[in-house]
Structure 1
Amino acid sequence: MRPKHAPRVIDQGSVWILVAVPSIWAGHFLLSYWIAAIWCAKLPAGASLAEIRWVIAGLGALSIAAIAGLGVIAVRRYGGEFLVFEEITESSERGRDRFIGHVTLLLCGLSVMAVLFTVIPGLVIGQC
């Protein structure tokens, strides 16, 4: 049971959001390759990956949706902006929150690209 005044895991001022975004990509990466490896291990050499590629694409879509959800949290709770060449130099709690939001949005963009690059081999390679 959670204490009455305990903070949520991903709450304003929490850095767990920075870990959650790349963890979603890592989980997608591991699941995709494990599923493909198990699928290919059970079938004869040269078997088709046609059935499993939709599972990998579906996992990719779910991962991108989760990453997008964390990006929305970064904008709403932390005030994150996707500005590449802006320095955030405020030495206050608001400046720290903006920095966490900014870094989270950058990690969201990087993680979405990583998920897409993990899905591409599953869609392009046709055989085990």
Structure 2
Amino acid sequence: MRHESDKQPGDFRPPGDAPRVIDQGSVWILVAAPTIWAVHFVASYVIAAVWCAKVGPSLVEPRWIIALLGLIGIALIVWLGRIAMRRYGGIFLVFEEITDSSERGRDRFIGHVSLLLCVLSAAAILFTVIPGMVFSTC
């Protein structure tokens, strides 16, 4: 470490020793929340399309499956948001300026962006579930 600002918190481990996929220094946390939303989006529309084609015009039964998948997706996204706050030091400030060029500054940036993507993905899941709750026919 050449600079004082490059010091890491006590629980930091180098990426080579990381047993988890979403760990300090990993960028997988950036794509995890939007991926959960995308999987929920595709699954919801496939369930509705297959139900409408095979069973009938009523969406009363599959709406609860879609809502349950939405709750599971939001729970996973909340878990990812907690990881972004704990391991990366992410905070929910939209106009925060992170200008550190140290390793800790990069981790804070990853945490900040991950947390904002988690919020955006959770909102996207809610907006995917709402039409299924409002409309009762195909």
Could you tell me the TM-score, scaled by structure 2's length? Answer: 0.86
Displacement of 1:43 in angstroms is 2.4
Which residue matches 1:98?
A: 108
Within 5 Å, give how 1:47-58 maps onto structure 2.
47-58=57-68
Q: Is 1:71 the equivalent of 2:67?
A: no
Number of residue equivalences: 123
Distance 1:6 1:84, change over 3 A: closer
Q: Is 1:31 the equivalent of 2:40?
A: no
Give me the whole-angstrom Cα distance separating, in 2, the residues matched to 1:6 and 1:73: 15
Which one of 117, 122, 125 corresponds to residue 107 of structure 1?
A: 117
Give me the whole-angstrom Cα distance separating, in 2, the residues matched to 1:96 and 1:85: 16
Which residue matches 2:33?
A: 21
Helix, strand or coil at the partner of 1:17: helix
What are the ranges of 5 or more consecutive residues in structure 2 without an aligned counterpart? 1-15
What's the % identity of the aligned pairs?
72
Distance 1:5 1:94, change over 3 A: closer
Displacement of 1:8 in angstroms is 2.0
Could you tell me the TM-score, scaled by structure 1's length? Answer: 0.92
Q: Is 1:118 the equivalent of 2:120?
A: no
Q: Is 1:59 the equivalent of 2:61?
A: no
Helix, strand or coil at the partner of 2:24: coil
Q: Is 1:86 the equivalent of 2:82?
A: no
Indicate the structure whose relative CO is greater, using CA pairs within 8 Å and at least 6 residues apart.
1
- Structure 1 runs (4+) deviating above 6 angstroms are none
